[in-house]
Amino acid sequence: MLRGSIITVLSTNEQEAFRVASMLGKRDRGGEERVYYRKVGDLVRSILIPSPGSVLDEAIALSISSSFYFRVNNEVTWLDGEKALLLEASGIPGVVLADDTNLFMKYFGELGISKFVSEFREFDAEVPDRGGIVYVDRAFNVKGVGVVVLGYALTQVSVHDRFIAYPMKLEVEVRSIQVLDEDQDSVMPGTRVGLALRNVRLEDIEGIQALVKPGTRFIGSINDFNRFKWGDDAREVHVILNGIKVMGKIEGNSIALARELPMVSGRALIINVNARPRRPRIVGYAVINA
């Protein structure tokens, strides 16, 4: 049974990010310019290169990833600092590739990610089962097949499994599974999947962000979170958990969510896109245990 490793590559230099990704895999033949793959035995490695100009895209990628690579040159900027805080908030392991290790430690030595500074090496971390969720980034119709969603399994998925499409809360059934254009009966967490869905129309799931297993609880607030000392005070924030993005309002040390989130395990990343110029937009994170 196939299993997956999901890696996010961050750098303020986009060319450097793509260079690191090319050392880990090959560009997707299906036209996904910012995703590279490598299959090693039963492991399918997915390498994500989110747009360096979108902190939300970076947060979404990290929220579904099991490891990271962070490329830092010898001209450290506030954007490097912001990416370092985002990686710190994610809580996942990785590899920090620094041109000047001493300079990196000068700026970021108090962060936990400083222990990941090393030479380049291939590193895959296991994707834990998040408790019944598939992150979805695309949905479309395929002639003769029907509705297909693309995404990353963050739980084991098998043909005939039933899920609830989020946020519309519509029950669907998995008709078939494809990984790298090959049919599968079942896949393990971390695998990039194409799922054909039964008895659903594309217009019924417009705006879909995830599939969650029936019986999953939903939460309307986050009652405690860890706030970084470097960011601005914020009132309205984006909360990102397992790729799902919702708005929230900070009330003391709690966050009231504009829409309920599936209560599955992971770290909720808290982002303030309205921070002052050159100030980190990373507010902090919350640990969610299902």
pLDDT tens digits along 70-109:
999 998 999 999 999 999 999 999 999 999 999 999 999 9
**Predicted confidence (pLDDT) at residue 29 exceeds the cutoff of 70:** no
Give, in order, the Cα–Cα distances in Å from 114 to each of 17, 57, 81, 118, 193. Answer: 19, 23, 12, 10, 33
User: What is the percent of the chain where pLDDT is above 70?
Assistant: 99
Residue-level pLDDT at 52: 83
List the domain boundaries for the chain.
3-116, 133-212, 218-288
The β-bridge partners of 142 are 146
pLDDT band at residue 232 using 50, 70 and 90 as cut-offs: confident
Are 157 and 187 within 8 A, CB to CB? yes
Mean pLDDT in the chain? 94
Beta strands (DSSP E) in 131-272 are 133-142, 146-153, 157-158, 162-166, 170-179, 182-184, 186-187, 192-198, 210-212, 218-222, 226-227, 236-241, 244-251, 254-262, 266-271
Query: Hey, what CATH topology would domain 3-116 get?
Result: Rossmann fold (3.40.50)
Distances from the Cα of 174 to the Cαs of 11, 106, 207, 233, 273, in angstroms?
37, 50, 18, 43, 36
* Residues 149/173, Cβ–Cβ less than 8 Å: no
The correct answer on CATH 2.60.120.10 for the domain covering 133-212 is no
The string of pLDDT tens digits covering residues 164-205 is 999 999 999 999 999 988 999 999 999 999 999 998 999 999
